[in-house]
A and B are shown apart, each in its own frame.
Chain A
């Protein structure tokens, strides 16, 4: 009996001392599912909006509260005071920034999410073209939960190669990296829905440019960050009627990209992108895929189109000073002397891109 006394004591301690200091009851908490930031029109302070699910008789509704504050934390406190509940950020799914805020330093807004051990680092980030508070309060058809709608929208966009896979933690290394930048999806509020409007490009922590959805897809191809499905539509003829016959739609089955970075003495960086794209035709009403000649003609048209398009996009991302391909990181890793001589973001404009596109049609569907 004596021998068992201490183990018994421990069992009692474990059972009765489960700790009442750090318990949090769900009834006192409001889980935040989406957070939005706007620049307040009145005084230029921060307008924070949070979506909170309210469970009411088997139905979940999301209410959006908002408040002005000097910082994210400060605005949250004000919302907590007005709702009489503690806001819990641990299940947050998405953070949306308005475009004018994103053009300033976004890290100052996000710092609190990185610092708080309870905050969820897997929340997605997005930039809204319009007012975020309005975006969060759009009455959606058939979807009471705005946060779920937006999260699924972003996940869909990532799957369809319209935006790179990202969350708070994934963008963080790139935010601080001088030789690699990140991009996040751009959302556009519609009447009863929200659309994806392409990509918001960041230079360091500031948004400096945009790509539309088609450009985003080809950009992701150049960056070798394609999602599961990539479906591109291209104009390949001019003279066919009706107009649909001028277009081809294809999926990218396989992509191999080789990036070659070669700095020169004069401060220029020659960058060669060798892409080998294997595509599958999914729509081509002209139906002339039985002759080898026609196929060759088609592939060369597609690869020419893609090359010109890629070059335009590269010009665009260079104009935004957005190093999404991580050229700077390559220079840092392989050409340390060159890196030390220059300030990367100042000479990023001097990068000379050469795109070698090789297209191969590997699938036609079940008809020619």
Chain B
């Protein structure tokens, strides 16, 4: 079996997670949360952050037991070859589907906001060319590129802060108006938008440093992402009135569409350019995860050939949905399934790893 080398410095685990988690779904996160928990949406986002933190602990406990193995090797060790491979296959399918979802959101965003006449396949091809090239460079190139992309986040937050000049802060009051149930259900929407942290279990062995440092980095990245998303949601809530909000499925871009500077007339276009970096990053991370999964499943080292294959699959499937309605249905359906992979399966793995204490060495 291939030896997993720890080649990525720990701080890049932080940037990797932040950049992967902040993706296309963040743009509609405030809307998705708002439709469920109304003006208390920002509390829901904090709640989802807390849930994710517990989830991170869970993943970290599993990883700590097998510090040199990726998810695909851990499953086999814990559940045996047949069940393990079955689980691996479904995880690969999950990662590929996440990549496809990202692609679908990416094309529909671009088509709606800037390039209405450009054919889909051009957008998709350009996108996957770059992304697969990045992924071929391996985890080290991916992680270092993400650490360069990370500062753009701060720029995006600054853009959003401008929205506060037209804010009506009374829109968040009364706090807790929608009731506890709505807030908790809203948190579910928040979690889907923040997925990406589950890749920890795939990239864990490549990160240098002690287990404790890695947990610290994961916690930091979760705090960062939760803070930014809470800010984004809060800003959207105070910017749009509750009735208007329901009409705006991409509140973040819509808010920014109103800003103008002396030099830049349409800030939303610039913002969208930055967002595409993050969408690309989300896609690349999942492409990477599914490719090494497939390589391990097929017991081959020729990952260079698997990457374009997976990328091509995502493009073919990703160009199927044709209208906004079907895209939204697709995303919704997929969001529900992803709960299985980010939470239920890790719990099962955790329990097995707990009982197999003595055989930890494998």
List A residues at the B interface (Cβ < 8 Å). Answer: 6, 10, 13, 17, 19, 21-22, 90, 114, 117, 121-122, 167, 169-170, 172-178, 180, 326, 329-330, 332-334, 336
Provide the bound-state CA to CA distance between A333 and B175, in Å: 8
Closest partner residue, chain B, to A14 (CB atom): B126
**What's the nearest-Cβ distance from chain A to residue B117, in Å?**
4
Q: A13-B126, A336-B177 are in contact. Are A180 and B168 (CB under 8 A)?
A: yes
Q: Which 9 A-B pairs have the closest CB atoms?
A: A333-B173, A173-B241, A176-B243, A177-B241, A169-B258, A21-B118, A21-B117, A176-B244, A121-B258
Q: A21-B115, A22-B118, A333-B174 are in contact. Are A169 and B166 (CB under 8 A)?
A: yes
Closest partner residue, chain A, to B173 (CB atom): A333
**In the complex, which of the residues A10, A17, A177, A326 has the most CB atoms of chain B within 10 Å of its own CB atom?**
A177
On chain B, the residues within 8 Å of A21 by CB distance are 115, 117-119, 122
Option from A17, A121, A122, A173 in Cβ contact (under 8 Å) with B244? A173
On chain B, the residues within 8 Å of A22 by CB distance are 114-118
| A174 and B241 form a contact (CB under 8 A) | yes
**What's the nearest-Cβ distance from chain A to residue B274, in Å?**
17
On chain B, the residues within 8 Å of A329 by CB distance are 168, 170-171
On chain A, the residues within 8 Å of B166 by CB distance are 169-170
Interface flag for B106 (CB, 8 Å): no
List B residues at the A interface (Cβ < 8 Å). Answer: 112-119, 122, 126, 129-130, 133, 166, 168, 170-171, 173-174, 177, 239-244, 247, 257-258, 260, 266
Option from B241, B242, B258 in Cβ contact (under 8 Å) with A122? B258
| A19 and B174 form a contact (CB under 8 A) | no
Option from B112, B117, B168, B243 in Cβ contact (under 8 Å) with A117? B112
Provide the bound-state CA to CA distance between A172 and B166, in Å: 11
| B122 and A19 form a contact (CB under 8 A) | yes
**What's the nearest-Cβ distance from chain B to residue A109, in Å?**
16
Main secondary structure of the interface of A (DSSP, over half): helix
**What's the nearest-Cβ distance from chain A to residue B8, in Å?**
22
On chain B, the residues within 8 Å of A169 by CB distance are 166, 257-258
Beyond A169-B166, A332-B170: 18 further Cβ-contacts under 8 Å? A13-B129, A19-B115, A21-B115, A21-B118, A22-B115, A22-B118, A121-B257, A122-B260, A169-B257, A169-B258, A170-B258, A172-B244, A173-B168, A173-B241, A174-B241, A177-B242, A330-B170, A334-B174
Option from B113, B170, B242 in Cβ contact (under 8 Å) with A326? B170
On chain A, the residues within 8 Å of B244 by CB distance are 172-173, 175-177
Provide the bound-state CA to CA distance between A62 and B86, in Å: 70
On chain B, the residues within 8 Å of A122 by CB distance are 258, 260
| A333 and B170 form a contact (CB under 8 A) | yes
**What's the nearest-Cβ distance from chain B to residue A86, in Å?**
13
Closest partner residue, chain B, to A169 (CB atom): B258
| A117 and B260 form a contact (CB under 8 A) | no
**In the complex, which of the residues A22, A170, A175, A180 has the most CB atoms of chain B within 10 Å of its own CB atom?**
A22
Provide the bound-state CA to CA distance between A333 and B126, in Å: 49
Provide the bound-state CA to CA distance between A6 and B135, in Å: 13
Provide the bound-state CA to CA distance between A177 and B240, in Å: 9
| A176 and B119 form a contact (CB under 8 A) | no
On chain A, the residues within 8 Å of B112 by CB distance are 117
| B115 and A17 form a contact (CB under 8 A) | no
On chain A, the residues within 8 Å of B242 by CB distance are 176-177
Sampled A-B contacts (8; CB under 8 Å): A22-B114, A90-B266, A121-B257, A172-B240, A173-B168, A176-B247, A177-B244, A332-B173
Option from A10, A17, A172, A176 in Cβ contact (under 8 Å) with B130? A10
**What's the nearest-Cβ distance from chain B to residue A44, in Å?**
28
Q: A10-B133, A176-B241 are in contact. Are A167 and B115 (CB under 8 A)?
A: no
Provide the bound-state CA to CA distance between A174 and B242, in Å: 10
**What's the nearest-Cβ distance from chain B to residue A72, in Å?**
17
Closest partner residue, chain B, to A90 (CB atom): B266
Provide the bound-state CA to CA distance between A178 and B242, in Å: 10
Provide the bound-state CA to CA distance between A114 and B242, in Å: 16
On chain A, the residues within 8 Å of B133 by CB distance are 6, 10
Provide the bound-state CA to CA distance between A311 and B34, in Å: 39
Closest partner residue, chain A, to B174 (CB atom): A336
Provide the bound-state CA to CA distance between A247 and B273, in Å: 58
On chain A, the residues within 8 Å of B126 by CB distance are 13, 17
Provide the bound-state CA to CA distance between A90 and B243, in Å: 26
Option from B118, B122, B177, B258 in Cβ contact (under 8 Å) with A167? B258
Provide the bound-state CA to CA distance between A330 and B170, in Å: 7
**What's the nearest-Cβ distance from chain B to residue A17, in Å?**
7
Closest partner residue, chain B, to A172 (CB atom): B244
Provide the bound-state CA to CA distance between A31 and B114, in Å: 18
On chain A, the residues within 8 Å of B177 by CB distance are 336
Provide the bound-state CA to CA distance between A314 and B215, in Å: 60
| A173 and B240 form a contact (CB under 8 A) | yes
Provide the bound-state CA to CA distance between A122 and B266, in Å: 10
**In the complex, which of the residues A22, A117, A121, A330 has the most CB atoms of chain B within 10 Å of its own CB atom?**
A117
On chain B, the residues within 8 Å of A332 by CB distance are 170, 173-174
On chain B, the residues within 8 Å of A178 by CB distance are 243
